[in-house]
Structure 1
Amino acid sequence: MLAGAGTGKTRTITHRIAYLVNTGHVAAGQVLAVTFTARAAGELRSRLRPLGVDAAQARTFHAAALRQLRYFWPRVVGDRQWDLIEGNKLRLVGQAAHRLGLPTEFEVLRDLASEIEWAKASLISPDDYPATVARLSRDIPESAERLAELYRGYERIKNEAQLLDFDDLLLHTTAALEEHRGVAEEFRDRYRCFVVDEYQDVTPSQQRLLDAWLGGRDDLTVVGDANQTIYSFGGASPRPLLDFTRRFPHATVVRLERDYRSTPQVVELANKVIGAARGRPAGSRLSLIGQRADGPPPRFAEYDDEVAEANAAAGRIRELLDTGVAASEIAVLYRINAQSEVYEQALSEAEIPYLVKGGERFFARREVRQAVAALRTAAAGDPGGDLVILVRKVLATVGLTEQPPPGGAAKERWDALLALVELAEELATAVEGATLAKYVSELDQRAAAQHPPTVEGVTLASLHAAKGLEWDAVFLVGLAEGTMPILHADGDDEAIEEERRLFYVGVTRAREYLSLSWALSRNPGGRRNRRRSRFLYGLVPEGHPAARVARAKATSTGPKVRCRVCGCALIATMDIKLGRCGKCPADVDEDLLTRLKEWRVERARELKVPAFVVFTDATLVAIAEQRPTDDSALVSISGIGATKLDRFGAEILAVVKASDAE
């Protein structure tokens, strides 16, 4: 099933499962539906319950694998079950890095851990890692050989401590099914029908587990949208989705293109965004068709600095709140989490409640834990009566008043308790005669699945974290070159196209109100040297003030950067950095480029920073093409300013000179 954003794929999935069960094709308990986030799995369970098929399993890949591994462990391994690593793996990665003399700062360890996760998700062993990253020209934070040693060391430390990481759940469960016939037969007798949501995000390790589950059968439904592939850095690929009919020639392909989420104005903009993508495979060419009534046109705005941009967003949010839009139906989305600070400040000053997605977990909050404990005690007494009234009565004992407090932390606690009441109302509507015990069970399931109820407040989230969510009003902020697309994607066509898809995901989160903005400098009074994102060209309507600003800049009498080959004016960031048009032939010195990359690895290790912080790949390519011989030629390359000239200039020129000498 090829399903575009907002086309009702969750409804389609759940109704298909209900149809298969109700027509006798399969028993509800023989269905396993898997997706990629705990929230999405919780949403599937919530949708299946009113359809009478709540016995069907809906889990993430990792949750399903953990359940199966725990069940089969005594038969496969025989001794005590290994524990999951608590928190994250950075402690163990740090131990392995320390033994190799590698940096152990938090940011470095995070990058090293991500590389190990990518390798395991991609089914790449430590022995195969160096050759694989060389073939893929992957930008890595250390030398391939050192990373392979780190990978081995991490696995050794983890296994000696008898611990499992999340990637192990998939790998060990797959091994149990592939290598133990009895285990495979029992599992395949238990589960007969499989549904995979967000199939464009499947990794090789997840695909292999799915193949082990199937065991050659074809009772499989997959749903995805290649236009929303945004996790390739973690090993995800849309290829299994696009090649599905080759593997299963008799499969029925259903295309969902009618968008029931967004207004035609938002849909039109989304189609323009993804329509400009390069190299789109045929299976990804979905064009959304808006089904809602007309709404306001998307807003575009350019600001002098990020503070002005954030204050303007807060002002517009206040206007929407005054017209009746709920705070929980508004989101501010940005490329990286570091951008949230200025919006937190602006919303705080405007006295607008907000939630930072990725912050403290809902069910870990003190007031929520107290409330759940009180509800569990009350449920043990088996009180009868209206569920919502009972929940309100219990929560009144832990701080839920009839009227909300004026603001601050007290209001946040009150909002959390009110969210529990609203969840009770939802359950009472979906399940006739729902009891307090059933409600507490629902809370336990949501806590285990990290599927919190909606809490009133504007959502602040990264674009990656916003995947799968939607709001009435969305503010896409910080849409400047270097941020969208992100700086280290420049020079890599595939990375740029993934950034475009990420932008597309952001646009399609909006139901009705969509605002897009960018700032020319970071701080008030700073140099206004930023440019709006290349993805916005062709989107800003003619006659719009932002379009006039862009034209004025493009036609100004100031100096233009011109192609050193054909002399044409350069506009794209990558073209300016290379000093030539993308269509003009490259004359990169491959030997020099290799030397530059080796130098960068050593300097990054010395400075204990990721390699791209020293110089991006695009800057190194520009140096290898232009082969500067003095400071003047070096600073003429975009991306090399006074600071980097002072810090690295002499070393770079020495590398160029040594290459020329040989």
Structure 2
Amino acid sequence: MRSLTRARSVARQVRAQIGYANDKLYERIISYIEKHHQIEVQAVPSAALFGSKAEVRADDAALFYDEALEKDEFEKLFVILHELGHLELHHRLKSVDEVPNLIIGAIYASDGAAALARYNPRAQEEAEANAFAREFLCPGDEVFRRWQSEDRPDSRIIAESLNLPQYLVRAQLAEALALLAMGDGEQSTKKKQKFECDKSQLAAAKFVGAPALVNAGPGTGKTATLVRRIVYLLDEIKTQPENILVLTFSNEAAEELQSRIAARFGDDIASRIKVGTFHGFGVEILFHHGQFVNLDSNFGILDEIGQQEFVSRILAETECRRILRLSRLDESIEGIVKHINYLKERLHTPDDLEAALRNWQPIEEEKIAYLESQEFLNVFRKYEEIRQVSKLVDFSDLIAAPIKILQEQDEVRHLYREQYKWVLVDEYQDVCRSVAKLLKLLCGADNPPWVVGDPRQAIFRFRGAAPENVIRFEQDFPDVERFNLNTNYRSCPEVIEGANQLAALMQSNEDAALDFEAWRPHQDNPIAFGETPLSVAFGNSDKAEQLGIVAQVRKWLEQGASLNDIAVLARRNVDVRNIVLALGENGIPATTNGLATSEGAAGDLAGIITFPDRPRASIPRLAYALGKNRFAPETIDFAINLLLDHLEQESPSPLVIKGEVGELIAEVTQAGDVLAKEKFSGDAFNCICAFLFEGSDYLRRILAEPESAARGLAIDEIVTSIVRAASYRFSHPKDKPLVARRGFADYFRNSLSSNQPSLLPPKENVDAVRVMTCHAAKGLEFPLVIVAGQASSIRFSKKEKTFDWLPMQFQPDKENDRRQADSLLFVGITRAKRAMLVTYAGSRSGTSRSESRETADLLGQWVTAHNVFQDEFPPSTAQETHAEVELVWGGSLSQPLASRTLSKDSCTIRTYLNDFARIKFPSSHSPLYPIFFQLVRASLEQIVELAHSQISYLSEQEAENIFFEKWSQHESVAGHMHERLFGRIGRRYVNRFANAYGEVSTIDEYLDITFCDETTGLPLRLELVKLYRTTNGEVIAIAFRPESLNGKINEKGLLWGKFEAHRNSLVLLKERFPDLRAFVFSGEDGTLHEFQWTKPNYYNQGVQALNDRVDAFSRGVFKQKIEEYNCDKCTQRVTCPHWIKTGF
């Protein structure tokens, strides 16, 4: 980001020289290029540029541009300015460019593949040239001030007044907003005291001649030691900056290092030192030498979203039904990608997995796992084959492919060893194990690695981090010289003592080789703050913990601390948001960064993105976004009712209503009109910008609010949404806007319901309590720290987290999750300078029925072994949350209600949204499973009818023909990416049913599976294949389930308690036909199982529960117990009336 800041600054300087007037701007630019750079600008035929749009040719002292650009004055102007950016910034006279992508060169293009692509040397320069051209034409801060002015011009009006395209103005407004929230990419502006290295640090910094491992615990000055080594290399050894390579784990860590180096040596020297991440360095190797692994310089990078889409497309080409959950295919695809990345991070290939499977002799209980492993191998192999042909790499390949190149190409390996005589590595415990192999190839006897790490701080295991990189360093690099940095310069003696206690408890047999020595405080370290600088506090509920945190912050403030002395570090994003709000509600300013939650502004934007595709799904969230803090919920709900009813009218006239309802309706209508224009031409980034800068006053109102926690959170979530939309655009350049918008909408809603922690810390120069995840706090320090949320759901923590489709020798260590939690606690505590409090809640609500939580093992051991001071927050018991939603947004059943919605595991609010209000988000690709299930069931029904009409069995071929006819003629099937996958499975299921359906009897009548409840009149649809009465009076019901029922049956048949989620149809029928016999066909098992009825008391309880829900639905009442575990994962939370009003 530092380079982009410089590019924007240079653009403003050049614009000042050329002049701000738009009159004859192009002519003045050409004059400046010719006079200042002695370059002549000429139009040439397209063929002369070999597919590019412009090129500076040094030999001709000319800038040639495509004469076809004369047809578009703005494109010509932007391309010329892009080239001028190269001339101003890169001091070279050669550049080949296509039409610039405006996203490249934006501060908000800082995530995923967009961020990685900048490590491609050409891409980095392209980003800087784009930033120059954008800022020259449309200075971000200037247009943002104008947009905020009293005249309230929107992006369209500003674009017209500047004679610029609206998309450029929108992009620059987004840039200005991002800068407002994130800063300009520079690190803290506060002055750091001059640091003189101690003896151990100097010894490490000046060591040469062998591999070096610097074991640097928290606060021991590792970054200062690393910078001091660069000083030594440049000033004393007199090496050239270009011969130094500094590698680290994250982009944020690389930015920090670049800033520290620039502060010490200046921008000119700093820009000549290669500083980056291992993955970024891999991009550079592949850019220059990708031909050795069959890649050209334009290879594509698959981020995790791209991987999932890629896997989705290849499923039809592999036999893998055992590892697919057909009804939740997206979850299965996520699992496949997770397995692939796990193996590739460890350099395991499909051949390695196949060899392991050949040696696996599964015992009886392992046979299913063995078959699943075989099917995963099929997908893994196909993934690798098609990825390579497609010239694509995933993040793991950015390490694996350079390893292959350096391993096999002696000349290339020699080139890099000669180029980078000094290789420095920071945060070595946070990179994956394969990086050690890359480092061994990059470094030889003449350029041994100099590495800094601490396995106790390995908090990125969920991303493949391998602390064993540090532990096994001596095995990887013989003749290692070790340096232990044992003086802590950060914390008071009490905090250091706690860190020593934790470190000793964390010491395992594996890392005993590190010879842990207790850290000691430096004489100038700060003194402890308060009477108990180390303490642990328990709250009986989340609310009690949050209020306890508020009380502790207030206590510190009363004792003389300032707001920005205090940091609260939490485990999850949702905890960060709740703590920020709790502080704000109690008058304590708080801030965060990188947050995106369903209840916040990110949820608002996730809702509006789909307006062009399905207004009905977006209107509720849009209305609440625009009406929040202005109108009562009842007013907003009434407006939503009117708007949704209006959508149903065939030729609606404009809604004209007076009062507050009318005011809100007018605003929603205006925003909808602007968003509707983006239907075919706007991706998600454009939709967000259209809403923020043209379609509404949503952002203006937030910016106009007084400084508060809620205001800061809203701005942060808006910028996070822009960042993610920009990254998605970058990684999907070939998608049409409509396809890209729907794809991002799916991804974004899913991401809001994930527990992936934010890695971005808040800005430092703010007068507020800083709240962030422990992951975001890595490398930072604060005088006073609260480490919050140090307990997790027992259900979640005990949930199996193994990689189910891998042989035992490939399985991860089951202790990893525990070690990850221990490291998070250790990192959190050691951020503190003067005082630290650990907090946790025993349960969500504090009631006896609320699910209990358990603390990290390390916390319990520490408190017990060292008598750490413990406190208890005042209890705050919340009653179990039961949401009750009536027909709040109107609606009625348009078809009979499926019996599955009556299950206690089915959310009643989701039933209201989907079946009554018909509020359901569109998908980027319509899932085939509902159609598949419907057509298989219809085929099984026809097989039953034909068998009874013929009084004979049907052959497999006859059964297959029945399914094929239905499948091939359905309009939504042809051309779908999963057509072959589901078609193949469907044929297998109907064949098996034809074999399983025996003992054909004479049928007296077929019975209707759709009926109205006798008491309430609610229309219900039983999810059955067939219901009939035989001539002997028996009533037979046949149900279908695709999944295996093994484990749910005994010698008598299918067990009542094992079929809870799907037995509603059978129970409802039992009430009508007491002698009912029910059978369930499993497509995977290929068998019919008779359903076993339970004891009368259990049966009656089940019947009563169903009747209660039928009665409530018939009255338009939807009651739901709110369970944190389920709601946190729900992708419909964005439009859930309960959660929208909770945020309200």
Answer yes or no: same fold by TM over 0.5: yes
Select which of 280, 295, 303 maps to 2:528: 295
Q: Is the Cα contact below 8 Å between 2:526 and 2:833 reproduced in 1?
A: no
1:36 aligns with one of 249, 254, 257? 249
* Cα separation, 2, equivalents of 1:599 and 1:492: 25
Match among 192, 195, 200 for residue 429 of structure 2: 200
Corresponding residue of 1:61 = 278
- For the residue of structure 2 that corresponds to 1:499, the secondary structure is helix
1:501 and 2:801 are equivalent in the alignment: no
The residue number in structure 1 matching 2:583 is 347
The separation in 2 between residues aligned to 1:250 and 1:33, in whole angstroms, is 22
Alpha-carbon distance, 1:489 to partner = 8.3
Q: Which residue of 1 aligns with 2:60?
A: none
Aligned equivalent of 2:258, options 30, 45, 51: 45
Aligned counterparts of 2:334 and 2:580: Cα–Cα separation in 1: 25
Specify the alignment match of 1:281 in structure 2: 512
Contact kept, 8 Å, 1:8 with 1:259, in 2: the verdict is yes
The equivalent of 2:352 in structure 1 is 128
State how far apart, in whole Å, the 2-side matches of 1:128 and 1:348 are. Answer: 54
* Contact 1:32/1:56 (8 A) holds in 2: yes
Q: Contact 1:404–1:411 (CA<8 Å) still a contact in 2?
A: no
| Residue 333 (structure 1) aligned with residue 569 (structure 2) | yes
2:780 corresponds to which letter in structure 1?
A: L
1:95 aligned partner: 313
**Alpha-carbon shift at residue 503 of structure 1 (Å):** 1.8
Change (3 A) 1:450 1:213: farther
SS, match of residue 253 in structure 1: strand
| Correspondence for 1:85 | 302
C-alpha separation in 2, matches of 1:493 and 1:412: 35
RMSD: 4.3
Deviations 1:330-364 (A, max 9, x none): 4333334454453244234235332244549xxx9
**Cα-to-partner distance string for 1:631-658 (whole Å, 9 max, x where unaligned):** xxxxxxxxxxxxxxxxxxxxxxxxxxxx
State whether structure 2 residue 752 is matched by structure 1 residue 539.
no
Ranges in structure 2 where 5+ consecutive residues have no aligned partner: 1-213, 603-698, 718-758, 802-812, 875-1045, 1049-1058, 1062-1144
Summarize the Cα distance change of 1:32–1:500 in structure 2 as closer, same or farther, 3 Å threshold: same
Q: CA offset at residue 51 of structure 1?
A: 2.7
Return the alpha-carbon distance in structure 2 between the equivalents of residues 79 and 24 of structure 1. Answer: 38
Q: Deviations over 1:100-146 (max 9, x none)?
A: 342355554434322221211100112323776999x99x9994333
Residues 357 and 465 in structure 1, CA contact (< 8 A), matched pair in contact too: no
How far apart, CA to CA, are the structure 2 residues paired with 1:76 and 1:22?
39
Q: Give yes or no for the alignment of 1:19 onto 2:232.
A: yes
Is the contact made by 1:258 and 1:289 (CA closer than 8 Å) also made in structure 2? yes
CA distance in 2, matches of 1:190, 1:162: 28
CA contact (8 A) 1:307 1:342 kept: no
What does residue 1087 of structure 2 align with? Answer: none
1:210-266, CA deviations, whole angstroms, 9 ceiling, x for partnerless residues? Answer: 122124544320111122234445443333423434554543321101111222222
- For 2:716 and 2:571, locate their aligned partners in 1 and report how far apart those are by CA, in whole Å: 28
Contact 2:433 2:468 (C-alpha < 8 Å) held by counterparts? no
State the 1:194 CA deviation. Answer: 0.3
Q: Is the 8 Å Cα contact of residues 92 and 157 (structure 1) preserved in structure 2?
A: no
Alignment-mate amino acid for residue 472 of structure 1: P
Aligned counterparts of 1:330 and 1:312: Cα–Cα separation in 2: 15
Q: Secondary structure at the match of 2:481?
A: coil
Q: In 2, are the aligned partners of 1:485 and 1:499 still within 8 Å (CA)?
A: no
Give the whole-Å Cα distance in 1 for the aligned partners of 2:540 and 2:576. 18
Q: 1:127 corresponds to which letter in structure 2?
A: D
Question: For residues 431-446 of structure 1, what are the structure 2 equivalents within 5 Å?
Answer: none
Is this contact kept in 2: 1:73–1:81, CA < 8 A? no
**Contact 1:38–1:450, Cα closer than 8 Å, also in 2:** no
1:480 pairs with 2:791: yes
**Helix, strand or coil: the match of 2:835?**
strand
1:93 maps to a residue whose letter is V
Q: Partner residue of 2:880?
A: none
Pairwise CA distance, 1:92: 1.8
Gaps of 5+ in 1: 365-397, 417-448, 550-597, 601-605, 609-662
1:147 pairs with 348, 362, 376, which one?
Answer: 376
CA 1:167–1:76: 2 relative to 1, 3 Å: closer
Note closer, same or farther for the CA distance 1:106–1:504 as it changes in structure 2 (3 Å cut). farther
Query: C-alpha offsets along residues 427-459 of structure 1, whole Å, 9 cap, x if unaligned?
Result: xxxxxxxxxxxxxxxxxxxxxx99996463544
In 1, the alpha carbon distance for the partners of 2:382 and 2:301 equals 18
Letter in 2 for 1:30: N
More deviation in 501-510 or 149-158?
149-158
Distance 2:471 2:873 in 1: 41
Residue of structure 2 in register with 1:310 after alignment: 546
CA distance in 1, matches of 2:794, 2:825: 11
CA drift at 1:502: 2.8
Higher relative CO (Cα under 8 Å, sequence separation at least 6) belongs to 1
Question: SS where residue 828 of structure 2 aligns?
Answer: helix
Residue 122 of structure 1 aligns to which amino acid in structure 2? R
Classify 1:503/1:284 alpha carbon distance in 2 versus 1 (closer, same or farther; 3 Å).
farther
Structure 1 residues 542 and 63: alpha-carbon distance in aligned structure 2, compared to 1, 3 A threshold: closer
Distance 1:214 1:494, change over 3 A: same
- Secondary structure at the aligned position of 1:237 is classed as coil
**Partner residue of 1:512?**
834
User: Which residue identity lines up with residue 311 of structure 1 in the other structure?
Assistant: L
Hey, what's the Cα distance between the residues in 2 that align with 1:497 and 1:276? 11
Count of aligned pairs between the two proteins: 483
Shift of 1:512: 2.3
Structure 1 residue 252 and structure 2 residue 481: aligned? yes
Q: Deviations over 1:475-527 (max 9, x none)?
A: 22222365799435899455434432332122112222311112222114344
**AA matched with 2:527:** D
User: Matches of 1:142 and 1:330 in 2, distance apart?
Assistant: 53
Structure 1 pair 142/32, CA: closer, same or farther in 2 (3 Å)? farther
Match of 2:217 in 1: 4
Q: Which residue of 2 aligns with 1:118?
A: 342
Shift of 1:147: 2.8
Q: Which entry has the higher C-alpha Rg, 1 or 2?
A: 2
Q: Work out whether residues 404 and 414 of structure 1, in 8 Å CA contact, stay in contact via their aligned partners in 2.
A: no
| Secondary structure in 2 matching 1:473 | strand
Report the CA distance shift for 1:343/1:162 in structure 2 as closer, same or farther (over 3 A). same
Mapped pair 1:176 → 2:405: yes
Q: Contact conserved, 1:200 with 1:225, CA < 8 A, in 2?
A: yes
Shift in alpha-carbon separation, 1:98–1:349, aligned structure 2, 3 A: farther
Letter in 1 for 2:480: A
Identity %: 27
8 Å CA contact retained: 2:580, 2:590: no
Per-residue CA distance 1:538-578 (angstroms, 9 max, x = gap) = 427759564999xxxxxxxxxxxxxxxxxxxxxxxxxxxxx
Amino acid corresponding to residue 500 of structure 1 in structure 2:
D
In structure 2, how many angstroms separate the alpha carbons of the residues matched to 1:10 and 1:41?
Answer: 11
Give 1:327 shift. 4.9
Which residue in 2 is equivalent to 1:651?
A: none
Identify which of 452, 463, 468 aligns with 2:774.
Answer: 463
Contact 2:784 2:833 in 1 (8 A): yes
Query: 1:3 Cα shift?
Result: 0.8
Aligned residue identity for 2:863? L
- Once residues 794 and 571 of structure 2 are traced to their aligned partners in structure 1, the CA distance between those partners, rounded to angstroms, is 7
Deviation at 1:83, TM superposition (A): 1.5
Conservation of the 8 A alpha-carbon contact between 2:455 and 2:467: yes
Calculate the TM-score normalised by the size of structure 1: 0.63
